[in-house]
Amino acid sequence: MNWNELYYQDAYLTEFDSEVISCQSRDDGYAIVLKETAFYPEGGGQPGDQGTLNEVHVLDTHQTQDVVIHYTDAPIEPGTRVHGRLNWQRRFDLMQQHSGEHIFSGLVHKTKGYENIGFHLGEDTVTLDFSGVLNEADLLNVETLANEIIWKNVPVQITYPDQKELSTLEFRSKKELEGSVRIVSFPGADVCACCGTHVSHSGEVGLIKVLSFQNRKGGTRVEIVCGNRALKYVQAVFRENTAISHLLSANILETSQAVTRLNQDYGSLLHEIHETTRRLLEEKKAELSDHQPLAVLTASHIDPKDLRVLCNDIVEEKHAGVAAVFSLHEDGWKYVMISKTMDLRPLCKALNARFNGRGGGPGDMVQGALTSGSEEELRQFLQDSLES
Ligand SMILES: [Zn+2]
């Protein structure tokens, strides 16, 4: 810990006074270095802080070697006294997520022995990669244990043990560490080397909720949210499920059973519709006379595959010269025409032109869609075209 890293002296420092040491122009703004700062620079998976220096906006904070660089949208003269103000809402949210991640990863390590091998603190959620396979029951268990640590409101301990103490200390660490090591402990859950900012008591994490997990390459990727993000998430899910329960007139904790019943009803209805349509089409087909030069059948909402089968049956069973089947849909007609004796392409072209349609195909089978025309007009048009 350096004397000018105010965020390490007090992670809750939201305002401070300092002096500008240097200010350099960059392509996308300015890079300002201060004598001391409470702006945490990106590191250890935690994004850099945002806020203001006097009236100037700090868009991001990074560190190169030992220097903290504030990326700003305007310059400030070196030597100027500045008042720094953090976007505290954002920083506290990041502290809730980061501390929650430690508690969760520590408990995965404790219960399963897996290492955290990846940590991404995103805009919406926190993504963690673990070195072993976790299933739903494992995650439910860790989620419960993690929230119990929150209820215990244990004080977070941050220490800088010397090399001798370090050699006997058991702690999680993502990389080989040199020099002074900062150890962050959540008693009962985790001991880990970390350079980030943390809440002072586990209770401030508020709530830890697992959102999803994926087993991949022998490991597990887990998505969690903590603190205010978890509250917002639970509120949104509750709002959604309340709306669903009203729509289904179902108890709020029994919506999935209600949807299962609805799906079954829907499945039976679809089956019934399919059977009724099939019978209706069989009847319509039976009514057609044999050996006609033109056999036209109209129906509605038949899918294109069934349309082709039906049209083909009419040619085969009724020995029609030309069979045409039209199906009416919300956006107009779908059609198929089949003939063993004539090239249907000119007729198809004329039909499309007359009824604002499109389509085509090899000469013995054409299909397409029309956007206008009544059943009567279609029949008349085909009749006239084949007679002429
Ligand atoms: Zn950390």
pLDDT over 70 percentage in the chain: 98
**Diameter of the chain measured on Cα atoms:** 104
Does the pLDDT of residue 182 top 90, yes or no?
Answer: yes
Does the pLDDT of residue 9 top 90, yes or no?
Answer: yes
Asked if residues 95 and 126 have their Cβ atoms less than 8 Å apart, the reply is no
Does the pLDDT of residue 381 top 70, yes or no?
Answer: yes
Does the pLDDT of residue 198 top 80, yes or no?
Answer: yes
Does the pLDDT of residue 304 top 90, yes or no?
Answer: no
- Report how far ligand 1's centroid is from the alpha carbon of 85 (Å): 24
Residue 330 CA, chain-centre distance (Å), reads 32
At 38, is the pLDDT very low, low, confident or very high (cuts 50, 70, 90)? Answer: very high
Q: List pLDDT tens digits, range 246-257.
A: 999 999 999 999
Q: Quick one: pLDDT at residue 175?
A: 64
Q: List pLDDT tens digits, range 132-173.
A: 999 999 999 999 999 999 999 999 999 999 888 888 888 988
Strands 208-216 and 332-339: unpaired
- Report how far ligand 1's centroid is from the alpha carbon of 328 (Å): 62
Q: List pLDDT tens digits, range 26-35.
A: 999 999 999 9
Asked if residues 23 and 54 have their Cβ atoms less than 8 Å apart, the reply is no
pLDDT over 90 percentage in the chain: 89
Q: Quick one: pLDDT at residue 178?
A: 67
- Report how far ligand 1's centroid is from the alpha carbon of 196 (Å): 5
- Report how far ligand 1's centroid is from the alpha carbon of 97 (Å): 10
- Report how far ligand 1's centroid is from the alpha carbon of 126 (Å): 12
- Report how far ligand 1's centroid is from the alpha carbon of 98 (Å): 6
Q: What is the mean pLDDT of residues 294-313?
A: 92
- Report how far ligand 1's centroid is from the alpha carbon of 52 (Å): 25
Q: Quick one: pLDDT at residue 174?
A: 61
Q: What is the mean pLDDT of residues 350-354?
A: 97
Q: What is the 3-state secondary structure (H, E, C) of the chain?
A: CCCCEHHHHCCCCCEEEEEEEEEEEECCEEEEEECCECCCCCECCECCCCEEECCEEEEEEEEECCEEEEEECCCCCCCCEEEEEECHHHHHHHHHHHHHHHHHHHHHHHHHCCCEEEEEECCCCEEEEECCCCCHHHHHHHHHHHHHHHHHCCECEEECCCHHHHHHCCCECCCCCCCCCCEEEECCCEEEECCCCCCCEHHHHCCEEEEEEEEECCEEEEEEEEHHHHHHHHHHHHHHHHHHHHHHCCCCCCHHHHHHHHHHHHHHHHHHHHHHHHHHHHHHHHHCCCCCCEEEEEEECCCHHHHHHHHHHHHHHHCCCEEEEEEEECCEEEEEEEECCCCCHHHHHHHHHHCCEEEECCCCEEEEEECCCCHHHHHHHHHHHHHC
Choice between 304 and 247, residue whose per-residue pLDDT is larger: 247
Q: Quick one: pLDDT at residue 163?
A: 86
- Report how far ligand 1's centroid is from the alpha carbon of 227 (Å): 16
- Report how far ligand 1's centroid is from the alpha carbon of 230 (Å): 19
Least confident of 16-20, 40-44, 203-207: 40-44
Q: Quick one: pLDDT at residue 2?
A: 77
Least confident of 1-15, 50-64, 222-236: 1-15
Q: Quick one: pLDDT at residue 65?
A: 85
- Report how far ligand 1's centroid is from the alpha carbon of 12 (Å): 17
Which is it for the CA torsion 237, 238, 239, 244, positive or negative?
Answer: positive
227: nearest Cα among 125, 158, 157 = 125
- Report how far ligand 1's centroid is from the alpha carbon of 18 (Å): 27
- Report how far ligand 1's centroid is from the alpha carbon of 320 (Å): 78
- Report how far ligand 1's centroid is from the alpha carbon of 14 (Å): 20
Q: Quick one: pLDDT at residue 89?
A: 98
* 362, burial (CB in 10 Å: exposed 0-12, middle 13-18, buried 19+): exposed
- Report how far ligand 1's centroid is from the alpha carbon of 375 (Å): 71
Q: List pLDDT tens digits, range 81-139.
A: 999 999 999 999 999 999 999 999 999 999 999 999 999 999 999 999 999 999 999 99
- Report how far ligand 1's centroid is from the alpha carbon of 323 (Å): 73
Q: List pLDDT tens digits, range 221-243.
A: 999 999 999 999 999 999 999 99
Q: What is the mean pLDDT of residues 69-78?
A: 98
Asked if residues 210 and 224 have their Cβ atoms less than 8 Å apart, the reply is yes
Q: Quick one: pLDDT at residue 176?
A: 58
As a whole number, the mean pLDDT across the chain is 95
- Report how far ligand 1's centroid is from the alpha carbon of 66 (Å): 19
221: nearest Cα among 116, 122, 321 = 116
- Report how far ligand 1's centroid is from the alpha carbon of 365 (Å): 67
Q: What is the mean pLDDT of residues 345-373?
A: 96
